[in-house]
Structures are given as structure tokens and as C-alpha cells.
Amino acid sequence: MKRVYVNEKWCLGCHLCEYNCAFANSGETDMAGALKDVKIHPRIRVEGDNHISFAVSCRHCDDPICVKSCIAGALSVRNGVVHRDRDKCVGCYTCILVCPYGAVMPAPDGKAIQKCELCTDNAFGEPACVKGCPNGAIVFEER
Amino acid sequence: MGINYNVPEYEVVRDPQRCIACRVCERQCANEVHSYDPKTGKMKSDESKCVNCHRCVALCPTHALKIVKNNDTYRINAQWSNEAIGEIYRQAETGGMLLSSMGNPKPYPIYWDKMLLNASQVTNPSIDPLREPMETKTFLGKKPDHIERDSEGHIRTDNLPPQLKLEVPILFSAMSYGAISYNAHECLARAARALGTYYNTGEGGLHEDFYKYGPNTIVQVASGRFGVHKGYLEAGAAIEIKIGQGAKPGIGGHLPGAKIVGDISRTRMIPEGSDAISPAPHHDIYSIEDLRQLVYSLKEATEYKKPVIVKIAAVHNVAAIASGIARSGADIIAIDGFRSGTGAAPTRIRDNVGIPIELALAAVDSRLRQEKIRNNVSLIAGGSIRNSADVVKAIALGADAVYIGTAALLALGCHLCRTCQTGKCNWGIATQRPDLVKRLNPDIGTKRLINLVSAWKHEIMEMMGGMGINSIEALRGNRLMLRGVGLNDRELKILGIKHAGE
């Protein structure tokens, strides 16, 4: 299955992926309109400093511990993608606690969680972080 | 601190409707132009530091930025331009020589744009390169004076002097590891291998990781002899003796000690932090006879298996100098025009010394033909080749191949901001700062170089086909394919071409 991978050697720590993620999931068609004066809640986060940095998003584990831990049945695996059902999620944050990568986070309203679904859940269709990475550090590929 | 007399050259224009304060511009600017004001939640900029490299513009996700020429002006004066006044202010403040990078930006005539190419009509057929054979391969090196046959009557090919085989008549010109980054060198080396051509180490030696690209590498021996040893000479496909460089004829290179760190120090074989100063002349070359000694020393060291290139800057007596070099035993002469690039040069020298490559190339080719020694050497022209039409015109004027440097760097992302000397290249090319170097991903850079040269190759084939020519060999020195426009008789005579309409 194709997943998002990050090569820290080429990650510049520019944080563009975070903004592309926030835009892709905003439902808007214009980035400036979507993100101006807005605090973003991206599903990918750049960690590190100026020397070594890398973007972290859901690994879509083969045997995801978040899915196992979900008390509401809101997390499931669909075609390899760990998917969240917003209507079922009760916002207990158990998945946030168990995720070893810190790749699950509260949704902006705090009532549910959110996570990367490889842009299958928005109009973008392909991972926006990958498409917008200026240095080819984030890739979407089979490994 | 006294008064700062200089005004910012460029202005950063930020569209407040578009800026989302993502701070990408701030993170990407090594010159620290942009900053975030937490009080207002808005971005600010300090134009005085801007070099107009366009890194922020290219990465701004909402296209909120543009850089414009600052129209703040001193009182307009045709004699004393803003630039001239600003330079005086800078020198009055620092007492130093003005430094610049990349090629001469002054509005001298560009002869490429005053020559037009021919095409076939009715009386001779043009050739369609998509349907008919078209050869862009060429060989650089000394050619035999006559044909020899073996006892069977077959033409002997085992007695040829060493040749460089180029799939396309374009080589990447000398840019040292130190002046440009490790990643930039990797891009050039990998692209040269993929394209069947060569890149040139420049005078900074060859990084141990790149010995594997040796068959596509020209190793340079310059006046400082940095990084030169037996293994280095043996690693390359050819050896280039650099006498001069088009951007700064008559003076040597200077890589500041701050850039001599780690691998660069090891590759150059000089201590960390020491300035790498190349002498203006080679201290063992004061005549053609001396040059001949170095040519043969290098040939002896590599068992006569590699062609030796002598690179000179295009200067006033270039034809006579080239004639001497062609008799020195060198296999190839590279001529570097006055517009060629550099990582750092005194501004006055860059902008005022040397002559246009078009005139130099034509003069050298004519002179070598007159003296019947043109076959002794191949000619490489460099310093201002901007596109495939320039390549075709250079070959028609008499070049065997061309060097591209600036064009290659542009393909890698260079925006010609001409501040390489600061070592803060935001594109990861002319810098050694690890956080900046990694901005040039060699996988991307290599692909872009291959794309560029492949595109030019297609265009060269189309132009040759239009002229009814099906090989580089048949185009070389074919000045009947050129006509001048807007040139005077003297210029036409030097270029050896007719005026349009003749």
C-alpha cells in the first residue's frame, strides 16, 4: 500500500506541509481565504530544529493500536487507510494516548479526534503535503 | 554608527489580503529579511537585506509576495546613475574592493542576438529529425593530419590521440566544490553521466564520493593546484589546465577561509579555515614553452590516455594565444568569454575585462585555420551560452562544443541574485551551510539538468534539420549558416559572416 514517508535528509523545516494539510482539509478553494487569520490544526506536524527536521503524520500501521483502543468503534481500516468516523467518535482521546507517533490529535472543536487519512476524506484526493513539498522530502509511495 | 547612505535596491511587496502569516518566507530567508510580529500577528520585512533571490516568492503558498525594484531614487543624473552613486557610498564606507558574483550584467552587445540562422528552402531539402537520422554526437581531441591504412587497406583507428566522446555538444563548465555545494556537484556529476557528457571539478579538487563519476569528469589543474594528486588526475576523463576564467581574466580565485570547512578542506588538501588563494598566474608558466612542459607533465602522469584541455579567458590577443596553445601539445582549448559566471570576483574586473566570446571564438577558429593547425585541437566556447540557438551559433562559428555554467545553475534553481560571495545562497547552490545545502535535493536537481540539456538537444536537432544538416560535424565552422543583422563591416569581418541579405 502507498503511504506517506518523510526523508529527514531533505526536510527543510519550512512547515509548508502543515499549511497545505490545513488548506486541503478546510473545504475551501482559496488558500488565503481559508487560512488567513486562522490558527491551523494540521494533521501533519514538522518536528525538529533547523538542522534535522521531519514531518510526522499517521503511519497507517498494519496493525493499528489506535483502532484496537477505540471504545466507540469510530476508527477502522479501509483499504489500508486508518479512517475516523466523526459521527461515532466520542472524543475520549484514548487513541491520542496510545498512538506511538503522536499522529492523532484533537479536532479543532475538541469534540472528536482528527488524523491524516491521506486526503481520501477531502476534495484533494492525493496527499496535499506530498504535492506541496518543495524539496521532495515527503513522498507517497509503496515500500 | 554613522549614517547609512545606501538605499535598499529592492522592495518586498506583501499583499495583506493573501498573506496567511505561515512564516515560510521567514524560515527560508538566510538574509533574514522577513520576520513575524507576534503583537500584530503580521509579517514584517527589512528590505535593506534583500538580494532578490526570489526564494520567498517561489515558496509563498498564497503568492502574497513580490519583489520590485525600489523606486526610491537619488536625483536622476545620466552621468551619475543610482548604481554609480551607491557604489561610491559603499566604498567610502568600507574602503574595500567591490565584490560581485555570476556574469557581467552590463549592457554590452550580445552578438548571439545579432546573428541569424539559415534554413533550407526549395533548392536543398531540410531534414526532419523525427524521421531521419540526426547526429549530435561529437568527439573532442586532437585529430590526425592524415588517414593511415593497415596492410588490409582498412583505415586505422587504433592510432588516434585520446578523445572525449560527447552525446551532445554541451559540457558543464568548471565550478569548484567550495564555490558550489556538494549537492550541486552531485547534480552535475549524475546529469553528466546520464547525458553522456562531462562536468568539470573546477579548481577545488574532487570529493571522494564522486570518483565513481570519473568517466564523466574533467579534472581541473589551476594555479593554486588545490586537490591535485595522482589519483585525482587518473580519476578524470580529461585534465583541464585553467589559465584564466572569463569572469576575472588575469586574476586567480579566492575562496574565503570561512568556506574551507570539513570535506572542502580535505578535498582541497589545505587546512581548515585557511583562505584558498589561487595565484594570478601559474608560477611555473610564463611562456608557451612552459605551458608545454605542464601539458606533457600531465600527459606523462596519466600515460597519454587522457586529453589535456587548456582553458583561457577571451582577451584581446586571444587568437595569437590560442595559436600558441594549439602548438603546445594541448588537445582541446576552452575559451571563456567575458560574460561567464563566477562565485566571486572584483566587480570592476568582472564588468570591464575581457572580450565577447562570439568575437573571440570566430577569431581563434579563423586563425587556427589560416595556420593549418585547427585539427591540432578542439575548441570549447563558454561564457554566456543561454539557449540551444546560442549553441548552434557557437558551433557554426567554429566551436566543437560549448561549456554551460550559468544555464546549468539556473536549471538547479539559481535566480541570478549575484550574491554568491556571501555564502548564503538560499537555493542551496553557492553555499556550504548545511541547512542551506540540503535545499538542493540532488534527485530533483539532476532531473532538471537532464531535462534542460535534453530539451536543448531536441532543439539543436530541429535547427540543424532546418538547415539541411544532419550532424554536428557538418555544422562546425559552417559560417555560411549565419548572417549578421545590425553589425558593421568590422564586426562582420571578425565574425567571418555575411550580413543578412547578402
Q: What are residue B127's phi and psi, to 5 degrees?
A: -120, 135
The two domains A1-57+120-143 and A61-115 share their CATH topology (first three levels equal): yes
β-bridge mates for residue A75, sequence order: A84
* Annotated domain spans of chain B: 10-96, 128-499
pLDDT number for residue A64 = 96
CA distance B111 to B479: 14
For range B144-163, the mean pLDDT: 91
- Per-residue pLDDT reduced to its tens digit, A52-77: 999 999 999 999 999 999 999 999 99
Q: How is residue B378 annotated by DSSP? A: E
* Cβ-proximal residues to A89 (8 Å cutoff; 6+ apart), any chain: A72, A74, A112, A113
Q: Is A20 on the interface with B (CB under 8 A)?
A: yes
Q: Is A134 on the interface with B (CB under 8 A)?
A: yes
CA distance B16 to B30: 23
With 90 as the cut, is the pLDDT of residue B259 above it? Answer: no
- Per-residue pLDDT reduced to its tens digit, B211-229: 999 999 999 999 999 999 9
- Per-residue pLDDT reduced to its tens digit, B330-351: 999 999 999 999 999 999 999 9
CA distance B77 to A98: 71
- Per-residue pLDDT reduced to its tens digit, B36-81: 999 999 999 999 999 999 999 999 999 999 999 999 999 999 999 9
Residue from B388, B378, B398 nearest B218 by CA:
B378
Q: Is A33 on the interface with B (CB under 8 A)?
A: no
CA distance B140 to B148: 20
Q: Which residues of A touch B58 (CB under 8 A)?
A: 134
Over its C-alpha atoms, chain A yields an Rg (Å, rounded) of: 15
* Cβ-proximal residues to A83 (8 Å cutoff; 6+ apart), any chain: A75, A76, A77, A117, A120, A121
Angle at B194 between CA B190 and CA B196, to 5 degrees: 115
Angstrom distances, CA of residue B293 to CA of B217, B325, B388, B486: 23, 12, 37, 44
Q: What are residue B8's phi and psi, to 5 degrees?
A: -60, 140
Tell which of A6, A19, A23 to mutate to test the B interface (max B CBs under 10 Å).
A19
Average pLDDT, chain B: 95
With 70 as the cut, is the pLDDT of residue B431 above it? Answer: yes
pLDDT number for residue B76 = 95
pLDDT number for residue B174 = 97
- Per-residue pLDDT reduced to its tens digit, B1-20: 688 898 999 999 999 999 99
Average pLDDT, chain A: 94
Residue from A137, A15, A138 nearest B28 by CA:
A15
With 70 as the cut, is the pLDDT of residue A121 above it? Answer: yes
pLDDT number for residue B292 = 97
pLDDT number for residue B433 = 92
**Predicted complex: ipTM over 0.85:** yes
Q: Is B437 on the interface with A (CB under 8 A)?
A: no
Q: Is B42 on the interface with A (CB under 8 A)?
A: no
Model confidence at B146, pLDDT cuts 50, 70, 90, reads confident
Q: Which superfamily is assigned to B128-499 in CATH? A: Aldolase class I (3.20.20.70)
Residue identified by cell 566604498 is B91
- Per-residue pLDDT reduced to its tens digit, B447-490: 999 999 999 999 999 999 999 999 999 999 999 999 999 999 99
Task: Mark which residues 406-435 of B lie under 8 Å from A by CB.
Answer: 434-435
Q: Which residues of A touch B23 (CB under 8 A)?
A: 15
Q: Which fold has domain B10-96?
A: Alpha-Beta Plaits (3.30.70)
CB contact under 8 A, B438 and A134: no
3-class secondary-structure state, position B134: coil
pLDDT number for residue A51 = 83
**In the 3-class helix/strand/coil scheme, how is chain A assigned residue by residue?**
CEEEEECCCCCCCCCHHHHHHHHHCCCCCCHHHHHCCCCCCCCCEEEECCCCEEEECCCCCCCCHHHHHCCCCCEEEECCEEEECCCCCCCCCHHHHHCCCCCEEECCCCCCEEECCCCCCCCCCCCHHHHHCCCCCEEEEEC
Q: Is A36 on the interface with B (CB under 8 A)?
A: yes
pLDDT number for residue B1 = 60
pLDDT number for residue B260 = 87
Find out whether B236 and B256 touch, Cβ atoms under 8 Å.
no
* Cβ-proximal residues to B299 (8 Å cutoff; 6+ apart), any chain: B306, B308, B329
CA distance B380 to B400: 6
With 70 as the cut, is the pLDDT of residue B419 above it? Answer: yes
CA distance B204 to B179: 8
Q: Is B65 on the interface with A (CB under 8 A)?
A: no
Q: Which residues of A touch B28 (CB under 8 A)?
A: 12, 14
The CATH number assigned to the domain with range A1-57+120-143 reads: 3.30.70
Residue identified by cell 548571439 is B112
3-class secondary-structure state, position B493: helix
CA distance B378 to B429: 30
- C-alpha of A90 from chain center: 19
Which residue has better confidence, B374 or A124? B374
3-class secondary-structure state, position B451: helix
What CATH number matches the domain at A61-115, 3.30.450.20, 1.20.58.100, 3.30.70.20, 3.10.20.90? 3.30.70.20
CB contact under 8 A, A9 and B20: no
Find out whether B189 and B442 touch, Cβ atoms under 8 Å.
no
* Annotated domain spans of chain A: 1-57+120-143, 61-115
CB contact under 8 A, A14 and B24: yes
CA distance A142 to A1: 6
Q: How is residue B156 annotated by DSSP? A: P
- Per-residue pLDDT reduced to its tens digit, A77-87: 999 999 999 99
pLDDT number for residue A50 = 77
